[in-house]
Every structure is written in C-alpha cells, then in structure tokens.
Amino acid sequence: MGRKVLIVGGVAGGASAAARMRRLDETAEIIMFERDEYISFANCGLPYYIGGTIQEREKLLVQTPESMEARFNIDVRIRSEVIGLDPVRKVVQVQSKDKGNYEESYDYLVLAPGAKAMKPPIEGIHSEKILTLRNIPDTDRIKAYVDSKATKSAVVIGGGFVGVEMAENLNHRGLKVTLVEAAPHLLAPFDSDIVSAAEKELSEHGVKLILNDGVKFFRDQENGVEVNLNSGTQLTADLVILAIGVVPDTAFLKDSGLKLGGRGHIIVNEHMETSAQDVYAVGDAIEVVDFVNEQATTIPLAGPANKQGRIAADNIAGVGSSYNGTQGTSIIKVFGLTAACTGNNERTLRRLEIPYETITVHLGSHASYYPGGFMMTLKLIFAPSGKVLGAQGIGKDGVDKRIDVIATAIRFGGTVSDLAELELSYAPPYSSAKDPVNVAGFVAENVLAGRVDILSVEEFVNYDRSNSVLVDVRTETEFNNGHIEGALNIPVDSLRARLGELDPDKEIIEYCQIGLRGYVASRILTQHGYKVKNITGGYSSCLMSPVKPPCVVPVKTSENVTIDPDTQVVKGKTEKEISDYKKSHSNCGICSE
C-alpha cells in the first residue's frame, strides 16, 4: 500500500477530496469517517425535497458508502465520529457505534467536518418542535412534520438562503408561514435596494415577513410552539425552523494545537494546509480569503468546498494546486424571481473603507420585440479604477447567466470596460445585441469618464435639493401614471425645444424609467451648460428602493388600464386591452425602453 490518507467528513469537501485522491493515486490507502450514514448528498436540494419539487429521496444521495467503495476503493466508515486529533503522534481518536473507541494513524489527514446549525442559548430553544436543516436526518424529521395533517403553520427564524428557501417550500406545501429576521432585510449578501424585490415577492405569495425583530424566548405548547419576539410580538405555530446561521463543527480540535480563528474556523493557507504538518482542511469549517477584498472571511458554499477538497488532494499527491479565494457567488429562487450575486456588496466595502461606485440598470432578459421576455435589475459595483468589485441581479429570467459572466470577469481581474467589450451570444429569444452585461459596462464607463453624474435613490432621498430642479424626462403618459413628487415633466424628445423653462443657475436632477433616456437627457443638458445629476436606474429604481422618494401614483390610466406602481406591469380587464395599450405605447418606456 502507498500513503495512508484519512478524511474526516464527507458531503462536498470530504467526498471530493477522497475521489480526487483515488484518481491521482491508485495505491493510497484512503479511509473516510462519517458520523451518520450519509457520506455525500445534495445539501442544497433538501428544502426542495421537503417542499415536494424533488419527489424521490434517493435522488438526494450523490454517493453511498457502497458506491464509493466500489468505484473508488475507499474504506468508508459510517457511524464513526472523529472526536480527537494528535498531530504529533499523527493519530485521530474515533468513536464508532460498531467498533467502539479506537485510534487510527495517518500519513496525511483531511479535515472536512463542516458546520452545524447555530442554536444560541434562548429559553425554550430545545423544544422537539424547533428543528434545523443541515443533513438527511434533519430533512426526514422536518418532512415527517410537514406530511402530518396536523401541521398547518410554521415560523421560520432567519432570513438567509436556507430560511428563505424553507419559507417558500413550506408555503408550497400549504402551510401558513411567517419568516422572522433580526436584521432590517433578508439575504445579507444582497444590498437592500435589490433584496426589497425578493421581500415583496415573498409577501405577495403569502409569506408573512417580520424584519428587524429577533426571538426573545420560545415556549412549548401542547399543539405547537409560542414564539415571543423582542418587540413583544407573539407568534404561535405548529413547527419552528431555526435557520439563523451555522458555526464550524470543530470542537473536537480544541486540544489538538491546530490554529483556529476567533469563531472556531480552521486556519489554512492557499494549499489548504493547516498549522499542523500533513493536516489539511476544507469546506464550511475553514477560514478563507475573500477574493475581492483579500481579507479573512468565512463563506460556507458547496462550490468552493468541492474545489478545496480537490486542491487538498492535489497537494497530498504532489500536484501543487492553490486556492485563490472565494467570491461568494450565490443564487436563490424566490417563488417566481431569481436573485444572484457575486463579489462584495456595498455594506462590506463601506465597512472596509474601500472606495467604490455603483450603477443600476433595468433591462429585458432578451430582445423586447421577441415575446416572453421579463425585466431584470442588474447592479454593478466597481472601483474608481474601473475594476469590478461585485454585482447583484434580480428578475424572472436571465439573471443567472449575467451574474455568472460578471463573476468570471471578477475572477480574471476584469474592469467595466471589459464588460462593455465582451462578445456574448445573441439571438432574440436569448438576449439583445447589447446584452445587459454590456450595458452595465457602458453605463459604468460613462460614470468613470465623467460623461454623466449619477445619484443613487438613497443619495437622492438624502440630497440637498434647495437649489435644484427635479425633471422627469419620460412621456406625459408615463408621468401621469406615476412620478416623483415635485417633478417637472419635460419629455427627452422635447428637451432641446424647452430648455428655456429651466433655470441655468439651478442644478438639474433628472430621471427616466430605467436610466437610458436619463443619460441622453444628461448629455443634452450638460452640453448646454447645465449642471446635471441623473438618478441611476430611473423611476424603476425609485419604486424598488426601500428608501423610495414620495411618489404620486394615480390608480388608473385614461385607457382603462392599470399599471402596477411597484413593478410597472401593465394590467387590464382583457388581453386585448393590454395588447392595445402596449402597441400604442411601445416607445414610452413602460413596456420597454
């Protein structure tokens, strides 16, 4: 036999390390320890099995102990928990349900213990009706509750990715769901101006949101759980899902001498090596480097864990791979919407005092003249040098591929000019000749070149407008269907002829529907000597923002067609009314711009 490699934990990081190790070294003795029976499963699919989208439980199991042994000749020891490590003697202590307690020696060790659900010392938190979701046994317990006819309601505590996915899937199963989040907004990787659309989507599908409020204590009842919040609000549900985050499952390493971070995460270098010789660590239990800001952080995601497992195996086998940091590229389904992000958000950059600019665009998922398209919102965050620092998107279609393109650009150190120049696939059913990624690059280039001076909605709300004029450059129809209070309506096509209506001594703050006509208006006004600021993303951004300015929104148009004030979706009593309206306003910017 060759070198002896022990792997503690399976799922993404550990299973990837084991399989890669075998592919690189057929002679190695590889032993994997897993505390329960499931060594490799689709962790991210668990909420969708509970919700019924995934029907067959077996499809969640990526590898079984039997298949891992048959294909990769790996000694898989389930129901075996590693409870200690002595890196000097190069042994681990194992507590096995089948073999009892024993020591196992190693030449190389890969630690992939993962993370466990956070359960703070809140009164009543150990109730049998308060469950967490991390693995297959957790899933089975929750699904048994949901399948019971007696379970009618649930409270989800925590508005991260798991909390939102669970809220949606419990809603799909017909439960009355309340989602409680202690922060002002859900989904922390997103900025509030993007995530507000996801919050609206949840509310419209019947999920009750309680934000900026945490749990004070739980109280068991005969038929459910009483949830008491810090605000004094009292909720009652048949079931509570606790999804407030995770902590590294590294308590067994406390006497090992391994260097750990402040919250217990294992410290590793770019080769996934720990502070102990021949000991590697991967996955949710390690501290990583943020690829964008180069600071130590923790980002528990399946994709990075898989890559880290592969890199650890490479280095054990002498290949010499490096892990260059985590971007945090993530995506989530929120009923009919998709939200995705990559890189750093504004909150992180402000905390680290890293200078940045942002722009927001609202564009179609594909060519506006091809049926079936939807508007998406794309936010780009970039340095004054033009380097892309992050991006966020939300919409019904096409968000995933745009964020993936920008994530790729970030990985290769790309700039906004690189986004503008990208040659991306185009046909009317899939995109536009100017893809939203290109347009985001164009807009950012214009900002950096000084061709346009922009205000975010939040900046506009807090801006001193004592010596300014607010101008809405959309059509009269659009203006009458909703506008910012106090705005003067001068459509962009009439702007040159009506310059005399504007005081050259006052600053002009102008906006359109999504930003495009606002840019044109800005260029006209600037070249006629006016000082101009354009609200990035236009009226659509104003409607999405949680700090939206006061808007005047009539209920109906003169054509007996309603326009939703938040989404600008055209609605009518009949399909013909809607079709006629869109035809007569095809260039006004409500239906497309």
Q: Could you give the residue numbers annotated as active site?
A: 44
Q: Are strands 488-489 and 468-472 parallel, antiparallel or unpaired?
A: parallel
SS3 141: helix
Give the C-alpha separation, 109 to 268, whole Å: 13
Interior CA angle at 443 toward 438 and 444, to 5°?
95
Please, are residues 534 and 454 in contact by the beta-carbon 8 Å criterion? Answer: yes
The residues pairing with 6 across neighbouring beta strands, listed in sequence order, are 31, 109
Two tokens, residue 248: 């590294």
Answer yes or no: are the C-beta atoms of 121 and 136 closer than 8 Å.
no
For the chain, how many helices (H) and strands (E)? Answer: 16, 37
Measured CA to CA, the distance from residue 361 to residue 183 in angstroms comes to: 26
How far is the C-alpha of 344 from the C-alpha of 325, rounded, in Å?
Answer: 13
Q: How far is CA 409 from CA 248, 353, 412, 420, 422, in A?
A: 31, 23, 5, 11, 10
Dist CA 87 CA 109 (whole Å): 9
Q: Which candidate, 326, 325, 282, 288, places its Cα nearest to that of 21?
A: 282
Q: How far apart are CA 112 and CA 249, in angstroms?
A: 9
Contact 121, 22 (CB under 8 A): no
- For the chain, what is the largest distance between any 2 Cα atoms, rounded to a whole number of angstroms? 90
Nearest to 381 by CA among 334, 447, 337, 332: 447
Question: H-helix or E-strand containing 350?
Answer: helix 346-351
- Phi then psi for residue 376, to 5 deg, are -130, 155
In 298-431, beta strands by DSSP E: 330-334, 337-343, 357-364, 375-382, 388-395
The residues facing 95 across adjacent strands are: 81, 101
Is the Cβ–Cβ distance between 455 and 359 less than 8 Å?
Answer: no
Inter-residue contact 511 to 538 (CB < 8 Å)? yes
In contact, 590 and 364? CB cutoff 8 Å: no
Query: Residue 44 — φ and ψ, nearest 5°?
Result: -70, -15
Contacts of 134 (CB under 8 A, 6+ apart): 43, 114, 115, 116, 117, 246
Give the start-end residues of each E strand in 49-197. Answer: 61-63, 75-78, 80-86, 91-96, 100-105, 108-111, 115-117, 130-131, 153-157, 176-181
First to last CA, the chain: 67
